[in-house]
């Protein structure tokens, strides 16, 4: 029975969708169809609104974090939303990735990172009054940092940003709050994660 630790923010906890429809739970279900038994429910340390430093504080408060077979990390959107410094983000994200690595006994193939979705491509984004081109550019800058840090650690990175942009006009991909992804979008993320093959060949 494989034990999965999921670290993140509202995207990981599945804000605005039932807990069983969050992408980590859907992915665990897909893994089971591939013959990998995943302990349920998935252990999630995530909360809506968390930045990298807030996630790190929550992980520290949850010590000992324990040993895990798999770990995922999806964080950074609230750093961007609040206008946090990119240099500081790099340091804090690197620290969180180190934590995820330690949790899986320093096995990089057991860790997967998901990129930051483009919240500007949502009904909320369209109505928020912010420069959406700037929002997208900032998210790209954060994701560039994530890409570089993951490459240094030989950690697989799943790009879900493109999915959020590709399906921006599909109301079925947005939750009722107009900001967060729907269960349908979470399903796309889960399937994309499975198709990377990184976890599928455990």
**CATH top-level class for 4-195?**
alpha beta
Mean pLDDT value of segment 32-37: 88
Is the model's pLDDT at 188 over the cut of 90?
Answer: yes
Tell me the pLDDT tens digit for each residue of 64-111. 888 999 999 999 999 999 999 999 999 999 999 999 999 999 999 999
Rounded percentage of the chain residues whose pLDDT exceeds 90:
89
Predicted pLDDT at 200: 40
Spatial CB neighbours of 162, under 8 Å, sequence gap ≥ 6: none
H or E stretch covering 98: helix 86-103
Predicted pLDDT at 201: 47
What is the total residue count of the chain?
Answer: 202
| 89, burial (CB in 10 Å: exposed 0-12, middle 13-18, buried 19+) | buried
Tell me the pLDDT tens digit for each residue of 103-149. 999 999 999 999 999 999 999 999 999 999 999 999 999 999 999 99
User: What's this model's pTM, rounded to 2 decimal places?
Assistant: 0.95
Going by C-alpha positions, the residue among 80, 99, 101 that lies closest to residue 89 is 80
């Amino acid at each position: 029975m494989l034990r999965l630790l999921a670290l993140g923010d509202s995207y990981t906890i599945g804000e605005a969708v039932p807990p069983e429809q969050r992408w980590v739970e859907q992915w665990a279900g897909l893994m089971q169809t591939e013959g990998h038994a995943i302990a349920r429910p998935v252990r999630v340390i995530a909360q809506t609104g968390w930045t990298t430093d807030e996630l790190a504080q929550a992980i520290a408060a949850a010590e000992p974090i324990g040993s895990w077979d798999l770990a995922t990390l999806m964080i950074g959107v609230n750093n961007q939303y609040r206008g946090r410094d990119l240099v500081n983000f790099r340091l804090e994200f690197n620290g969180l990735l180190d934590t995820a690595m330690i949790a899986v006994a320093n096995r990089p193939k057991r860790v997967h990172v998901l990129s930051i979705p483009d919240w500007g491509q949502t009904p909320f984004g369209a109505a928020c009054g912010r420069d959406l081109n700037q929002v997208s550019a900032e998210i790209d800058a954060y994701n560039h940092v994530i890409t570089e840090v993951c490459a240094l650690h030989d950690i697989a990175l799943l790009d879900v940003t493109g999915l959020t942009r590709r399906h921006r006009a599909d109301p079925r991909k947005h939750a009722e709050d107009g900001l967060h992804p729907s269960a349908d979008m979470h399903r796309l993320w889960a399937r994309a994660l499975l198709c990377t093959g990184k976890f599928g060949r455990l």
